[in-house]
Copies of this chain bind each other. A is one copy, B any other.
Amino acid sequence: MGTSSRVFASLAVSLDGYIGSASGDVQWLHDAMRPDEDYGFSEKMVRTGAYLIGANTFRATGAMGRSSPSAPTFVLTHGSPETAPRGVEFYAGDPKALVTRVKAATDKDVWVFGGGDVVTQMLEFELLHELELAIVPVILGGGVRLFRPRRTPIRLRLSDCRSFPSGIVILSYECGAT
């Protein structure tokens, strides 16, 4: 019933902490990545049994247009649940209850696909096991910030650090979810 499922997030972030440019343009990221570098994307696909994603990110990534996602996908929304394509479920309730529901849908791991608000919420509720940040060697200057402001610090434990010739560095952290 997925009780051993691990919940993980993986995001690319600029040196100044943005996951998206002000215009929504992702050219900065494509410019930085190199086709011969393995950032572990397919490895993450293989371990994933379900996706959890915020409604804005779901719409922005164009996931709506696809016929069906590669794994059951749960979309966290503040609005009313919407009619969804096959394999996609909108959810307007409590994030904790949603994580329980998502874990019950798979024996594999859960990929929190973004955006920043959802990832921060998962961290704050101690629902996230792993946070992977791909630090892109660019100062964007503005855009969509990964972390939203909060009052108390959250300490993480570094579990891995890998650098690539492109200058991208992938930092992996354990986040204290149980």
Contacts and interface: CB of A to CB of B under 8 A. Distances in A.
Instruction: Kindly name the residue among A16, A156, A163, A168 whose own CB sees the greatest number of chain B CB atoms within 10 A.
Output: A16
A83 to B, nearest CB: 36
Interface stretch (A38-46, A50-58, A62-70, A132-140): A132-140
Contacts of A169: 158, 161, 169, 171
A15 interface: yes
A137 B153 contact: no
A138 B154 contact: yes
Contacts of A31: 155
Contact of A141 (B138, B152, B161): B152
Contacts of A14: 153
A37 to B, nearest CB: 12
Contacts of A76: none
Nearest to A171: B169
Copies in the complex: 2
Bin the interface of chain A by size: 35 or more
Nearest to A147: B16
A163 B138 CA distance: 20
Nearest to A17: B17
Interface string A140-154: 111001110111111
Given A15-B147, A16-B17, A147-B15, A157 B137 contact: yes
A93 interface: no
A123 B135 contact: no
The 6 nearest A-B residue pairs measured at CB:
A158-B167, A141-B150, A17-B17, A161-B163, A16-B147, A139-B154
